[in-house]
Amino acid sequence: MTTLPTGRSVRSTPEGLLWEPSERWVRGYKGEVAVVDSRHPVLVWEPDLPVPQYAFPSGEVRTDLLRPAKNPPTGTHTGSQIFHDLEVDGELRENAAWTFPAADLADHIAFEWFRRRDTGLDRWYEEEEEIFIHPRDPHKRVDALPSSRHVRVEVAGTVVADTRRPVLLFETGLPTRYYIPREDVRLDLFESTDHRTGCPYKGRAQYWNWRGGADVPRNIVWSYPDPLAPVAAVKGLLAFYNEAVDIIVDGVRVERPVTPFTASLKA
């Protein structure tokens, strides 16, 4: 019988990594093949990456599917790593996995996941719930709270939303997002797009573009038609990027924040 640690603490390595054991059951699939099936994953934070990633004991990874990397990259992750290509059913994905140089993480294997397509695995699960983009950070909160604040949104000087029944979404490290009922949004001023994103805390989002012709970034409005249970209150509501529109809350104009999304918001 394996005794699990009862205390949780973040530890550091000389290489600048932070890591913490997790008690979640994590599985990763390439197609229908379970490449990772781990009950002892470790969350790892790299210095220049704002979200955690998982590393797994090699005994809980299908190492028989890994090959020495033919074209290993440089400068991709912290320290000097050993990269592996992944081969499943005749398909090769280069540099899909790697090992960290830290002694604390010896005999652990990590897989590409965060914001990278066509590398690593196709699907990830924590327990029985599919997780998108990156693992959830246990030190981060996301709360969706119904409110009676008066919220008005302007795009290029035009009032596009006005409500007294928003849902405010508070997410650690990001500005407050104001989710507004569709009936209180001038959705006729926008057009739907094919853009889709996934969030490990909220689910999958759909987007709309501004039709006004001004210098406004694309996909400025989004909604979660089927959000994850913890943020069910935002279901079907619409939110705007604070970074690129004007939001007035109870008569006070909210300062446009600078966030990790700012650079990617282009007209």
What is the tens place of the pLDDT at every residue in 18-64? 999 999 999 999 999 999 999 999 999 998 777 899 999 999 999 99
What integer pLDDT is reported at residue 8 of this predicted model? 56
Contact 169, 228 (CB under 8 A): no
What local confidence, expressed as pLDDT, does residue 5 receive?
44
Q: Are residues 247 and 153 part of one domain?
A: yes
pLDDT for 204 equals 92
Partners of 159 in the beta sheet?
154
Name the one residue in this structure whose structure tokens are 């909220």.
202
Residue 3, pLDDT score:
41
Last residue of a domain, one of 106, 131, 156: 131
Residue 223, amino acid: S
131, 160, 183 - which closes a domain? 131
What's the token pair of residue 18?
């932070």
pLDDT, residue 1, reads 37
Residue 173 burial (10 A CB sphere; 0-12, 13-18, 19+): exposed
**Both tokens assigned to 28:** 């990763």
Structural domain tally of the chain?
Answer: 2
| Domain range enclosing 211 | 142-264
* SS3 category, 200: coil
Phi and psi dihedrals of 255, rounded to 5? -65, 135
- Distances in Å between the Cα of 65 and the Cα atoms of 33, 77, 249 are 10, 22, 54
pLDDT tens-digit profile, the chain (267 residues) = 334 444 458 899 988 899 999 999 999 999 999 999 999 999 999 987 778 999 999 999 999 999 999 998 877 787 667 999 999 999 999 999 999 888 989 899 999 886 555 678 999 999 998 888 889 999 999 999 999 999 999 999 999 999 999 999 999 989 999 999 999 999 999 999 999 988 999 999 999 999 987 889 999 999 999 999 999 999 999 999 999 999 999 999 999 998 878 877 865
The pLDDT of residue 185 is 98
Verify that 112 and 148 share a domain, yes or no. no
